[in-house]
Structure 1
Amino acid sequence: MSLKSVAAKIFAKLIVAKTRKWASNPVETQQRVFDDLIKSAASTAFGKDHNFTDIKSHEDFVRRVPIRDYEALRPYVDRVVNGEENILWPGKPLYFAKTSGTTSGAKYIPLTKASMPFHIQAARDAILHYIAETGNADFVDGKMIFLQGSPELEEKNGIKLGRLSGIVAHFVPKYLQQNRMPSWETNCIDDWETKVDAIVAETLPENMAVISGIPSWVQMYFEKLREKTGKPVGEVFPNFNLFIYGGVNYEPYRAKFENLMGRKVDSIELFPASEGFFAYQDSQKEKGMLLLLNSGIFYEFVKASEFHDENPRRYTIGEVEIGVNYVLILSTNAGLWGYNIGDTIQFTSVKPYRVIVSGRIKHYISAFGEHVIGKEVEAALQEAMEHTNVRVNEFSVAPQITPANGLPYHEWLIEFENRPDDLEDFALKIDAAMRRQNVYYNDLITGNVLRTLVITPVKLNGFNDYMKSVGKLGGQNKVPRLANDRKIADALLKSS
Structure 2
Amino acid sequence: MLSFLKKNIALAWAKKHVQKAKEFKNNPERDQEKLLLSLIATAKKTLFGREHQFENIRSITDFQQNVPIADYEDLKPYIERVKKGQSNILWTDTPEYFAKTSGTTSGSKYIPISKEGMPYQIAGAQSALFHYISKKENANFVTGKMIFLQGSPILEEVYGIKTGRLSGIVAHHIPNYLQKSRLPSWETNIIDDWETKVDKIVEETEKENMTLISGIPPWLIMYFEKLNEKHGKKIKELFPNLQLIVTGGVNYEPYRDKMEDLMGGDVDIIQTFPASEGFFAFQDDYTKEGLLLLTNHGIFYEFVPLEEYGKPGARRLTLKDIELNKDYALILTTNSGLWAYSIGDVVRFIDKKPHRILVSGRTKHFTSAFGEHVIAFEVEEAMKATLEKYSAQITEFHLAPQVNPAEGLPFHEWFIEFEKEPADLQIFRDELDEQLRKRNNYYDDLISGNILQKLHISRLRKNAFHEYAKSQGKLGGQNKTPRLANDRKIADLLEIYKF
Q: Give yes or no for the alignment of 1:128 onto 2:130.
A: yes
Aligned AA (1:177): Q
Quote the residue 1:395 is aligned against.
397
Quote the residue 1:165 is aligned against.
167
Q: Give yes or no for the alignment of 1:155 onto 2:129.
A: no
Quote the residue 1:347 is aligned against.
349
Quote the residue 2:299 is aligned against.
297
Quote the residue 1:92 is aligned against.
94
Q: Which moved more, 1:23-32 or 1:376-385?
A: 23-32
Q: Deviations over 1:322-343 (max 9, x none)?
A: 0010000000001000100000
Aligned positions of 1:227-306 closer than 5 A: 227-306=229-308
Aligned partner of 1:373 among 372, 375, 399? 375
SS of structure 2 residue aligned to 1:493: helix
Aligned partner of 2:148 among 146, 158, 161? 146
Would you say the 8 A contact 1:26–1:318 is kept in 2? no
Q: Deviations over 1:166-221 (max 9, x none)?
A: 00000010000000000010000000000000000000110000011010011100
CA distance in 2, matches of 1:389, 1:366: 29
CA distance in 1, matches of 2:141, 2:103: 38
CA distance in 2, matches of 1:487, 1:313: 32
CA distance in 2, matches of 1:495, 1:17: 52
Structure 1 residue 387: Cα displacement: 4.2
Q: Give yes or no for the alignment of 1:323 onto 2:332.
A: no
CA distance in 2, matches of 1:38, 1:181: 41
Structure 1 residue 17: Cα displacement: 1.1
Unaligned segments of structure 1, at least 5 residues: none
Aligned partner of 1:412 among 411, 414, 426? 414
Quote the residue 1:338 is aligned against.
340
Aligned positions of 1:410-489 closer than 5 A: 410-489=412-491
- How many equivalent pairs are there? 496
Q: Give yes or no for the alignment of 1:77 onto 2:79.
A: yes
Would you say the 8 A contact 1:291–1:354 is kept in 2? yes
CA distance in 2, matches of 1:289, 1:446: 36
CA distance in 2, matches of 1:387, 1:342: 32
CA distance in 2, matches of 1:306, 1:455: 31
Structure 1 residue 390: Cα displacement: 1.1
Aligned partner of 2:310 among 286, 308, 311? 308
Would you say the 8 A contact 1:428–1:452 is kept in 2? yes
Unaligned segments of structure 2, at least 5 residues: none
CA distance in 2, matches of 1:407, 1:388: 27
Aligned partner of 1:103 among 105, 121, 126? 105
Q: Deviations over 1:287-343 (max 9, x none)?
A: 210000000000000000111321201001111110010000000001000100000
Would you say the 8 A contact 1:147–1:218 is kept in 2? no
Structure 1 residue 381: Cα displacement: 0.4
CA distance in 1, matches of 2:28, 2:356: 12
SS of structure 1 residue aligned to 2:366: coil
Would you say the 8 A contact 1:410–1:452 is kept in 2? yes
Quote the residue 1:215 is aligned against.
217
CA distance in 2, matches of 1:49, 1:27: 28
Q: Give yes or no for the alignment of 1:62 onto 2:64.
A: yes
> Normalised by the size of structure 1, how large is the TM-score?
0.99
CA distance in 1, matches of 2:389, 2:415: 22
Aligned AA (2:149): L
Quote the residue 2:192 is aligned against.
190
Would you say the 8 A contact 2:122–2:170 is kept in 1? yes
Quote the residue 2:4 is aligned against.
2
Stretches (4+) displaced over 4 A: none
Q: Deviations over 1:238-271 (max 9, x none)?
A: 0001010000111111111111001121100000
Would you say the 8 A contact 1:115–1:333 is kept in 2? yes
CA distance in 1, matches of 2:402, 2:20: 51
Aligned AA (1:338): A
Q: Deviations over 1:384-415 (max 9, x none)?
A: 01143311001110000011111111000011
Would you say the 8 A contact 1:96–1:161 is kept in 2? yes
CA distance in 1, matches of 2:442, 2:389: 28
Structure 1 residue 286: Cα displacement: 2.7
CA distance in 2, matches of 1:463, 1:147: 20
Aligned partner of 1:112 among 111, 114, 121? 114
Quote the residue 1:12 is aligned against.
14
CA distance in 1, matches of 2:413, 2:477: 27
Aligned AA (2:417): E
Structure 1 residue 285: Cα displacement: 3.1
CA distance in 1, matches of 2:404, 2:261: 39
Q: Deviations over 1:136-192 (max 9, x none)?
A: 200001100022211111111000100000000000100000000000100000000
CA distance in 2, matches of 1:222, 1:414: 21
SS of structure 2 residue aligned to 1:149: coil
Aligned AA (1:209): T
CA distance in 2, matches of 1:248, 1:159: 29
Quote the residue 2:361 is aligned against.
359
Aligned AA (2:231): T
Structure 1 residue 358: Cα displacement: 0.3
SS of structure 1 residue aligned to 2:345: strand
CA distance in 1, matches of 2:417, 2:371: 27
Q: Deviations over 1:74-130 (max 9, x none)?
A: 111111111110100111101100000111310000011000000000001001001
CA distance in 1, matches of 2:230, 2:388: 30
Aligned AA (1:15): H
Please tell me the root mean square deviation across aligned C-alpha atoms, in Å: 0.8
CA distance in 2, matches of 1:32, 1:168: 28
Q: Give yes or no for the alignment of 1:385 onto 2:426.
A: no
SS of structure 2 residue aligned to 1:386: helix
Quote the residue 1:224 is aligned against.
226
CA distance in 2, matches of 1:158, 1:311: 41
Aligned AA (1:191): D
Would you say the 8 A contact 2:390–2:428 is kept in 1? no
